[in-house]
Amino acid sequence: MYLGRDCGMPAFQYADLPSIQRTLDKYHIDTALLHAFACRSLDATQGNRILFDAVAGDPRLVPCPAVLPNSELEVGDEPDFVDRLIRDGARCVCLYPNTHGTTLDARIVGPLMNALQDRRLPIAVFEAEWLDVASLASAYPHLPVIVHAPLARNRTLLPILRTTPNLYISIAPRFARYRALEVIVQQCGPDRLLLASGYPISEPGAPIGYLFYSDLNDEAVARIARDNLLELLDRVDVRADAPAKRVATFRAGDSSANSSQPAGLACHVWRREPVPLPGIVDMHAHYGNVPAFAVWRADVDQRLREMDRIGIEKVFLSRSGVGSPEVVLANDQVLEAMRRCPRRILGYATCYPINDDLGLGEIRRCIDAGMQGVKLHSAAGLAYTDPRYAPIWQYADEQRLPVLLHTWGVLTELEPLFERYRSAPVLLAHAGAAEPESYVAYAHKYPNVYLELCFSGAPYGVIEYFVHELGAGRMLFGSDSPYMSIQQQLGRVLFADIAEDDKEAILVDNPKRILHHHRT
């Protein structure tokens, strides 16, 4: 968790002590490491002072101050600096190499790392490449090194975890790869993962959904939610004369937590049971592998098992690699998946419109074969307004087919499409990943524009902002699985501070309306 306000964040991504305490209560968190944004926006020393003052008000908060090397003679000899932080209550520290103009190079941070290792004081490293942090951990094998939500989407994750036993991953949003928890636990055991909320940058319900709706057993979930962190904090060498810091436990998932959780859809996440809401549709998912990173077992049977476990009825798929010229093969694979379970698997047709065969002809072929929507992706290298897409837009509009567009916040250039095609529901994927105001503005102006929510960053407060500014009737749940976790994105919606009816609209009613809108 973070205290204060980060640079460039919307107004609703702000945490003071009362809002942090409300968040701890809501999510049943009994121990939280707290960083102060002021360590980055002001300076490390001042930020640490603000942090230590704030945590004095709540025993559940453990300060996680920023550290600097003494390379420019600012903080004093590193062993003394580390000793002072521990005496002030720190049981973990964090390093921001970019913000603080430093590096992971041993010539600079070596004395600091040695001092931390000597006291076994864990360090969370931000703003650094996964492999660089792993190399740091290898160089100091008795120092617990935490990577905060590494992207690590490529094929480097498992070999590094297997060979670097003092390296830990915090699963705050952005670390949300499909089935990553299950694969890591199976390959490396449950001890290397730490639950992190990311509040107020990201929605705590996202990692909680990711973990509690995973396929792990209860024991592994408890280790990741609670025990791994407590053991790390316990192992810090505080020296006999340092004042003890009370460290509480994480109750999430305990029966005590269940009994105090208010009724509502989120309580089913804690209980690890399917959402009892018939008709949930995942409006944005994919099928098949992707070049950039490993997709772990995402065949039809596996997908259906996961959907059953968490209570999702239908999934709307397009083939991964949606920008590939191999669209015929890609669409055929989606059609094959649909044939395996036509009641629950729906298909988006994709195209590569360099000629009619791969453009409108291919879209028509797929719709005639039973697909119910069109997916366009900027990865194909064409603007959505490119004239080669025009016949496809025209056809989708006539047929009132939903068109899912991958977007990242810049919507101005799409307005001519919104102006012209008023009958096809236009689903803006990853709504709110950037510039949430512009999504609201265009949705207000064009009633066939919908906001599809999937984004692994799970920004805090965006769902509430959309509901408040626009109303839930224009929002859609999507997962981007099997790149990203279905459970993580579902957790975001279930834990959002919105009415239960609004959750039902996002998960069930709006998709149903869009699917019935289609001219058959």
Question: What value does the CA radius of gyration of the chain take, rounded to a whole number of Å?
Answer: 24
Residue closer to Zn ion (CB basis): 81 or 316: 316
Least Å distance between CB 121 and Zn ion? Answer: 40
Least Å distance between CB 430 and Zn ion? Answer: 8
Query: Alpha-carbon torsion 496, 209, 35, 243, what sign?
Result: positive
The residue with its CB nearest to Zn ion is 480
Token pair, residue 446, equals 């064009």
Least Å distance between CB 511 and Zn ion? Answer: 16
Residue closer to Zn ion (CB basis): 265 or 454: 454
Least Å distance between CB 476 and Zn ion? Answer: 13
Q: At 435, is the secondary structure helix, strand, or coil?
A: coil
| Cβ proximity of 269 and 494 under 8 Å | yes
Least Å distance between CB 501 and Zn ion? Answer: 28
Using CA atoms, how far residue 284 sits from 88, 475, 480, in Å, is 47, 12, 5
Q: Does the protein bind Zn ion through residue 306 (CB under 5 A)?
A: no
Of 25-33, 100-108, 342-350, 480-488, the segment contacting Zn ion by CB under 5 A is 480-488
- In whole angstroms, give the CA distance from residue 406 to residue 408: 7
Residue closer to Zn ion (CB basis): 203 or 480: 480
Of 78-86, 193-201, 245-253, 475-483, the segment contacting Zn ion by CB under 5 A is 475-483
- In whole angstroms, give the CA distance from residue 200 to residue 176: 18
Residue closer to Zn ion (CB basis): 209 or 482: 482
Of 104-112, 122-130, 244-252, 476-484, the segment contacting Zn ion by CB under 5 A is 476-484
Residue closer to Zn ion (CB basis): 438 or 481: 481
Least Å distance between CB 284 and Zn ion? Answer: 6
Least Å distance between CB 347 and Zn ion? Answer: 14
List strands edge to edge, sheet with 61-63.
14-15, 2-5, 32-36, 61-63
Q: Does the protein bind Zn ion through residue 480 (CB under 5 A)?
A: yes
Least Å distance between CB 76 and Zn ion? Answer: 50
Residue closer to Zn ion (CB basis): 226 or 406: 406
| Cβ proximity of 396 and 374 under 8 Å | yes
Number of residues this chain uses to bind Zn ion (CB under 5 A) = 1
Residue closer to Zn ion (CB basis): 362 or 480: 480
| Cβ proximity of 414 and 439 under 8 Å | no
Of 177-185, 223-231, 344-352, 474-482, the segment contacting Zn ion by CB under 5 A is 474-482
Residue 489: exposure state from Cβ atoms within 10 A (0-12, 13-18, ≥19): buried
Q: Does the protein bind Zn ion through residue 502 (CB under 5 A)?
A: no
Residue closer to Zn ion (CB basis): 65 or 373: 373
Of 32-40, 88-96, 394-402, 473-481, the segment contacting Zn ion by CB under 5 A is 473-481
Query: Alpha-carbon torsion 230, 236, 239, 243, what sign?
Result: negative
Give the residue from 411, 413, 506, 491 showing the smallest Cα distance to 452. 506
Give the residue from 33, 44, 31, 24 showing the smallest Cα distance to 2. 33
Where along the sequence are the contacts to Zn ion (CB under 5 A)?
Answer: 480
